Amino acid sequence: MLKLGIAIVGLALLGALVGPALSPFDPASQELALRLATPSLLHPFGLDELGRDILARVLAGARISFLVGFTVVVVSASLGTMLGAVAGYFGGRIDDLISRVIDILLAFPGLLLAIALVAVLGPSLTNVLFALTIIGWVGYARLVRGQVLRAREFEYVHAARALGASTPRILWKHIIPTAIPAVVVQATLGMAGAIIGEASLSFLGLGVQPPTPSWGTMLNGGRAHILDAPHLTLFPGLAIALLVLGLNFLGDGLRDRIDPRSNASR
Amino acid sequence: MARFLLRRLLLTIPVLIGVATLVFSLIHLVPGDPVQAMLGESASPQDVAQLRTKLGLDRPLLQQYASFARGVVRGDLGTSLRTNQPVTGIILERMPATMELAASAMVVAILFSIPLGIIAAVGKGTYVDHVATTVSLIGISMPTFWLGPLLAIVFSVWLGWFPVSGRGTVANLVLPAVTLGAPLAAILARMTRASVLEELRELYVMAARARGVSEARAVFAHAFRNSLIPIVTVIGLQFGSVLTGAVITETIFAWPGVGRLLVQSISARDYPAVQGCILLIAVTYVSMNLFIDVLYGFLDPRIRYE
């Protein structure tokens, strides 16, 4: 499962990095005479409603997906780890404050808060990144807080404190590393979530704006042609599903490696 | 039990206050002047001033908040700028459609996933298990906004079995319910498999088998029954995803629910309606979580005494 995940995600990443350079067609160039043309040898995924090559746009869209996935995961994981560690280590009022903020953010199901934020801030890639990060850090913070609550009572942490190690050093060197494996698994699955989140917002017209190619925007454009040109919907959707499947395989595989107990039920 | 209920209810109050506060502040996050954004750049200063007064945005922030909070408690969420009707009324009008869709999606998910999870657990490591596990992973990875159009292409366009949009008959409900229920079914099938597998390894199941009970009885009357608690929890927790998924599913199938109202209100920059929809969905979700917590207390008495 892990190897299959690495293969799918690796191929998608390669496609995103070198695909647009290798593709003979520009994702923005239009051939209006051939609009909605079905797949052919020259255009394996066909052409869209403005006569743009769908394969070139899927490859260019992969860059947006990876950009969103990496940015949201890196920022959310860093912020969530930091706040979760502080809440878990210090406890008391700081923990209460951070935990209440987490509770309130978790009271909004799934993407709803991201939809609300982008609705008021306006549709753009930057606002999508901001909104997905706002809902993203909470999961990491909860996870790390739990791990830190356990780790702060370990004997080697007491020993470090007795030896006079500073609080930042104890957190950075002794406590946070215990949470990293779980954070890595969460990050892999979180990346799939961020990619679906961006595509959902773009599908609703709240994310990346045309003509920039994003898989969600392409699916939104394909809705009007679902009867006469289903290939507009088929290929961008397949790309999202495959990448997310690969990330889920990767996350599941990593979890099995890191936590053998989760493998016991398999 | 009464103490347990009271404690859970009291814990919910600060969360609801926080949710309402966050929803209130949404309009203040609009870059620039929210009233100008609602009316557009060409609006006259008189119109802008009039709407600002109507929305109460010309008053001090604390007064605005107090008035918003009073309105929420009384069930008054303001007036929609698009339809000029009370927001609460429009939402309540649409709520049955969303609830019908969400409930049907959950029924579809439960009917499909629980047998699949049990079959996979009983036949662990066999070809049936591999197929069931792969199907559920594909289900988790398939975004609603792709599955919906695919189902529409196959079952509406090619086969002509179901209508592609609208509400009113059972036929209208099938494709939206399957679209919305599929990801939940995938998650539930995985959960059921893992949970039943864990119970099947327990000593009491082994003892039942040793007593000579049939395999079906060992699985259904013993293992499955005890694996229900985590399954019920996941069903409750996933209710939120169903509500968010409804926003997309209702948009795909032109289903006249709260999700579609939210998207239409966003497009029209009808911020009072946007706030109302968000608040109502969040409160429904919090209430559902509270209900699951209480149910959990009934199912497992140890939780009440934590």
Instruction: Take residue B112 and report the two structure tokens written for it.
Output: 């499909």
pTM comes to 0.89
B27-52, pLDDT tens digit by residue? 888 887 888 888 887 888 888 898 88
Rounded to two decimals, the ipTM of the complex is 0.86
What distance in Å separates residue B122's CA from the closest CA in chain A? 12
Yes or no, beta carbons of A109 and B15 under 8 Å apart: no
Residue whose structure tokens are 């009357």: B221
Give the total number of structural domains in chain A: 1
* pLDDT beyond 60 at A264: no
Asked if residues B257 and B190 have their Cβ atoms less than 8 Å apart, the reply is no
What distance in Å separates residue A226's CA from the closest CA in chain B? 7
Helix-then-strand count for chain A, H and E = 11, 0
- Determine what percent of chain A is predicted with pLDDT higher than 90: 63
Selected residue of A127, A204, A245 to mutate for chain B interface (largest B Cβ count, 10 A): A204
Superfamily per CATH, domain B87-305: MetI-like (1.10.3720.10)
Q: What is the pLDDT of residue A259?
A: 65
Query: Which residues of A fall within a CB distance of 8 Å from B193?
Result: 265
Query: Which residues of B fall within a CB distance of 8 Å from A104?
Result: 15, 18-19, 22
**Mean pLDDT across A239-247:** 94
Q: What is the pLDDT of residue A261?
A: 55
- The whole-chain average pLDDT of chain A stands at 90
Instruction: Take residue B238 and report the two structure tokens written for it.
Output: 């996933």
SS3 B79: strand
Judge whether A219 is closer than 8 Å to chain B, CB to CB: yes
Q: What is the pLDDT of residue A224?
A: 87
Q: What is the distance between the alpha carbons of residues B247 and B242, in angstroms, rounded to a whole number?
A: 9
Judge whether A234 is closer than 8 Å to chain B, CB to CB: yes
Query: Which residues of A fall within a CB distance of 8 Å from B140?
Result: 248
**Mean pLDDT across A56-76:** 95
Asked if residues B285 and B240 have their Cβ atoms less than 8 Å apart, the reply is yes
Q: What is the pLDDT of residue B302?
A: 66
B7-18, pLDDT tens digit by residue? 888 888 999 999
**Mean pLDDT across A149-156:** 87
Asked if residues B146 and A240 have their Cβ atoms less than 8 Å apart, the reply is yes
Neighbours of A223 (CB within 10 A): 16
Q: What is the distance between the alpha carbons of residues B27 and B58, in angstroms, rounded to a whole number?
A: 13
Instruction: Take residue A127 and report the two structure tokens written for it.
Output: 């606002």
E strands in chain B: none
The amino acid that residue A104 corresponds to is I
CATH of the domain at A166: 1.10.3720.10
Q: Tell me which DSSP letter residue A47 carries.
A: B
Burial of B247 (0-12, 13-18, 19+ CB in 10 A): buried
Yes or no, beta carbons of B248 and A222 under 8 Å apart: no
Selected residue of A38, A58, A99, A120 to mutate for chain B interface (largest B Cβ count, 10 A): A120
Yes or no, beta carbons of B15 and A111 under 8 Å apart: no
Q: Integer distance in angstroms from the first to the last C-alpha of chain B?
A: 12
Neighbours of B206 (CB within 10 A): 12
Q: What is the distance between the alpha carbons of residues A106 and A88, in angstroms, rounded to a whole number?
A: 18
Domain limits of chain B? 87-305
What domain range is A78 assigned to?
A: 2-8+45-264
Q: Give the angle subtended at the CA of A214 by the CAs of A208 and A218, to the nearest 5°.
A: 105
* pLDDT beyond 90 at B241: no
Residue B123: closest CA among chain A residues belongs to which residue? A266
Yes or no, beta carbons of B278 and A233 under 8 Å apart: no
Yes or no, beta carbons of A245 and B31 under 8 Å apart: no
**Mean pLDDT across A148-152:** 87
- The whole-chain average pLDDT of chain B stands at 88
Nearest to B243 by CA among A102, A109, A130: A109
What distance in Å separates residue A254's CA from the closest CA in chain B? 15
Burial of A213 (0-12, 13-18, 19+ CB in 10 A): buried
User: Where residue B305 falls among pLDDT bands split at 50, 70, 90?
Assistant: low
Q: What is the distance between the alpha carbons of residues B58 and B55, in angstroms, rounded to a whole number?
A: 8
What distance in Å separates residue B20's CA from the closest CA in chain A? 10
A153-197, pLDDT tens digit by residue? 889 989 998 999 998 899 888 888 888 888 988 898 899 999 999
Q: What is the pLDDT of residue A257?
A: 82
User: What number of C-beta contacts closer than 8 Å exist between A and B?
Assistant: 139
* pLDDT beyond 80 at B297: no
Q: Which residues contact B64 (CB under 8 A, 6 or more apart)?
A: B24, B56, B57
Yes or no, beta carbons of B244 and A104 under 8 Å apart: no
DSSP A88-103: HHH-HHHHHHHHHHHH
**Mean pLDDT across A106-130:** 91
Helix axes A112-121, A125-151, angle to 10 degrees: 140
Selected residue of A2, A8, A106, A112 to mutate for chain B interface (largest B Cβ count, 10 A): A112
Q: What is the distance between the alpha carbons of residues B219 and B108, in angstroms, rounded to a whole number?
A: 23
Yes or no, beta carbons of B153 and A230 under 8 Å apart: yes
Q: What is the distance between the alpha carbons of residues B161 and A123, in angstroms, rounded to a whole number?
A: 37
B115-152, pLDDT tens digit by residue? 999 999 988 889 989 998 888 888 888 999 999 999 99
Nearest to B39 by CA among B279, B263, B271, B277: B271
Judge whether A233 is closer than 8 Å to chain B, CB to CB: yes
**Is residue A40 assigned to a domain?**
no
Judge whether A107 is closer than 8 Å to chain B, CB to CB: yes
Q: What is the pLDDT of residue A260?
A: 54
**Mean pLDDT across A95-124:** 91
User: Where residue B165 falls among pLDDT bands split at 50, 70, 90?
Assistant: confident
User: Where residue B226 falls among pLDDT bands split at 50, 70, 90?
Assistant: confident
Out of B31, B248, B266, the one facing A200 most closely (by C-beta) is: B248
What distance in Å separates residue A188's CA from the closest CA in chain B? 13
* pLDDT beyond 70 at B306: no
Q: What is the distance between the alpha carbons of residues B149 and A186, in angstroms, rounded to a whole number?
A: 30
* pLDDT beyond 60 at A266: no
The amino acid that residue A2 corresponds to is L
Asked if residues B305 and B42 have their Cβ atoms less than 8 Å apart, the reply is no
Query: Which residues of B fall within a CB distance of 8 Å from A116?
Result: 23, 26, 274, 278
User: Where residue B291 falls among pLDDT bands split at 50, 70, 90?
Assistant: confident
Selected residue of B244, B258, B288 to mutate for chain A interface (largest A Cβ count, 10 A): B244
Selected residue of A226, A227, A261, A262 to mutate for chain B interface (largest B Cβ count, 10 A): A226
**Is residue A32 assigned to a domain?**
no
Q: What is the pLDDT of residue B304?
A: 60
Residue B86 dihedral angles phi and psi, to the nearest 5°: -60, 135
Judge whether A200 is closer than 8 Å to chain B, CB to CB: yes
